[in-house]
Amino acid sequence: MKNTKIICTNCGKAFSVDRVYPRCDLCTEPLEVERVRTGTITDGDILRQTILERYADFFPFSEGERTLSLKEGFTPLIESSKLASELGVKSLHFKNESQNPTWSFKDRGTAAGVNHALSLGYERIGTVSSGNMAVSVAAYGARAKLKTVIFVSAHIPPEKLDPIAIYDPLLIRVDGDYGDLYFQSLAIGKDCGIYFINSDVPFRVEGSKTIAFEICEEMNFEPPDIVIVPTSAGGNLRGIIKGFEEFLSCGLIERVPRFVCAQASGCSPIYEAFLKDNEKVSRFQNPDTIAHAIENPFPPSGNEVLRKIKQNRGIFVALGDDEILRAQKRLAEEGIFAQPAGAVPLAALAKLREDRSIDEESTVACIVTGGGLKYTAAFERHNLETAKCRIEDLADFVGDRL
């Protein structure tokens, strides 16, 4: 590891990067790797580089400590002039994170976390998740030949269990309060020597920085005015903000975008805290949304996201299932099939244009965090049409309908 520290986002206490510290032991708030103030992009061709190599100056790894990769990241930024003109903004881009090894942005943070685990000599990794993070950690654990422990809730349906099980981790359905499991896992990790790469641990946040780095490169170092991020635990949004801020410190860009923290109305603890002008996020009661990937009722980085978005003059917003489903369909009509959580940014933009929180001169990037095939149950919520015809009549049938 390079000579760097891990710092508490709230009280500033410093920790060593050579051990695993998931949270601050003084104030329990999340930690982050010390900010990079000088650095540049490594020369080379992305067909032969990994994200950890290309952005090596922005990671605490030494050479030889970033060996494991499934070629995560380097995802496309897709412009839609159609949706930009429909919604009345200057330009609109979609960062399509479904083109990652396990079809969500989680692979970026998993890659950073697994390489940290390997360089510290860990032989066991784990996570608590019933969704994309579990799939991602299971895949990278398999690839790294590490013993991989995944805790899921006992009620997880088989269509979510099997995509984790296929990588053959130690997959345990835990009967009990799912909220407690996060903290339990950290204690078990300490006792059993398992590196838990949970939702907002420092190296997961580091991985998410590369979303910001790539957007800067893809937009010729003129970042968008607005970046919209579907937010649950808050680690991804923290990473994306940190990425833009580090590029600014290093002189690679001249300004940082405004950020939108977009949640589902059915589970919007950070948005609620903002509305009530609270400094701390409280547990959201009875969460229920189609966007399961952003259904964390008590986000571990919630307080830090509140602080950061306020400092940034950013926006908090919450979207109903109908708005999310409409956005999912609209996005598909542009050729991008997102899971409901990944469509939340487009739903947020529509709402924020309507109430004029975002103006028509804005350039906007939406983070499409995960792919649509992750949650096929959403198909039932759309009126999807097909036609049927006998083969003898097919020529006429098609002709009539063109």
Ligand X SMILES: *Cc1c(COP(=O)(O)O)cnc(C)c1O
Query: Which residues of this chain interact with Zn ion, rule CB under 5 A?
Result: 8, 10-11, 13, 24, 26-27
- Contact residue for ligand X among 135, 146, 267, 293 (CB under 6 A): 293
Residue with tokens 């800067």: 216
Q: Which one, 141 or 235, has the nearer CB to ligand X?
A: 235
The binder of ligand X chosen from 7, 156, 294, 343 (CB under 6 A): 294
Q: Does 104 bind ligand X (CB under 6 A)?
A: yes
Task: Compare residues 56 and 347 and give the one whose CB is closer to ligand X.
Answer: 347
DSSP letters, 41-98, are PPPS-TTS--HHHHTGGGSSPPTTS----S------EEE-HHHHHHHT-SEEEEEEGG
What are 386's two structure tokens?
Answer: 């097909």
The C-alpha atoms of residue 43 and residue 243 are separated, in whole angstroms, by 19
Among residues 235, 243, 302, 372, the one that binds ligand X under rule CB under 6 A: 235
Give dist(CA 393, CA 140) in Å, integer: 51
**Which of Zn ion, ligand X, none has residue 233 at its interface (CB below 5 to 8 Å by kind)?**
ligand X
Quote the longest CA-to-CA distance of the chain.
76
Whole-number Å distance between alpha carbons of 54 and 375: 32
Residue 108 binds which entry of Zn ion, ligand X, none, CB below 5-8 Å type-dependent? none
Integer Cα distance of 107 and 118 in angstroms: 16
Name the residue nearer to ligand X (CB basis): 49 or 127.
Answer: 127
Residue 301: CB minimum distance to Zn ion, A: 13
Confirm if 188 and 198 have CB atoms less than 8 A apart: no
Which residue from 50, 110, 232, 362 is in contact with ligand X, where contact means CB under 6 A?
232
- In the complex, least distance from residue 129 CB atom to ligand X, rounded to whole angstroms: 8
- Choose the contact partner of 230 out of Zn ion, ligand X, none; CB within 5 to 8 A by kind: ligand X
What are the φ and ψ backbone dihedral angles of 70, each rounded to 5 degrees?
-110, 25
Residue 113 corresponds to which tokens in the numbers above?
Answer: 């976390």
- Which range, of 5-13, 56-64, 224-232, 320-328, touches ligand X by CB under 6 A? 224-232
Q: According to CB under 6 A, which one of 96, 110, 127, 132 is a site residue for ligand X?
A: 132
Beta strands in 165-215 (DSSP E): 170-174, 195-196
Among the residue ranges 72-80, 110-118, 176-184, 227-235, the one whose residues contact ligand X (CB under 6 A) = 227-235
26 binds, among Zn ion, ligand X, none (CB under 5 to 8 A by kind): Zn ion
328-367: contacts with ligand X (CB under 6 A): 339, 341-342
Element (H or E) spanning 214, and its range? helix 202-218
- Closest distance of CB 200 from Zn ion, Å: 14
The binder of 11, among Zn ion, ligand X, none, by C-beta within 5 to 8 A per type, is Zn ion
Instruction: Please classify residue 391 by burial: count the beta carbons closer than 10 Å to its beta carbon, then call 0-12 exposed, 13-18 middle and 19+ buried.
Output: exposed
Minimum CB–partner distance for residue 396 and ligand X (Å): 44
CB 274 → Zn ion: shortest distance, Å?
A: 22
Q: Which residue has the tokens 């006792």?
A: 191
Beta carbon of residue 143, minimum distance to ligand X (angstroms, whole number): 19
Q: Could you tell me if 69 and 50 are in contact, meaning their C-beta atoms sit under 8 angstroms apart?
A: yes
Q: Determine the length of the chain.
A: 402
Phi and psi based region of residue 264 (left: phi greater than 0; alpha: psi -120 to 50; beta: remaining): beta
- Judged by CB under 6 A, which stretch of 86-94, 147-155, 235-243, 350-358 contacts ligand X? 235-243
Which residues make Cβ contacts (< 8 Å) with residue 42, sequence separation at least 6? 49, 53, 54, 55, 56, 57
Tell the smallest beta-carbon distance from residue 263 to ligand X (Å): 9
Residue (11 or 398) nearer to Zn ion, CB: 11
Please, which residue, 13 or 258, has the CB nearer to Zn ion? Answer: 13
Range list of H helices, 89-177? 106-119, 132-144, 158-165
Considering only 227, 233, 318, 336, the residue that binds ligand X (CB under 6 A) is 233
378 in contact with ligand X (CB under 6 A): no
Identify which of residues 189 and 230 has a Cβ nearer to ligand X in the complex.
230
- Residues lying near ligand X in the complex (CB under 6 A): 104, 106, 131-132, 199, 230-237, 293-294, 339, 341-342, 369-370
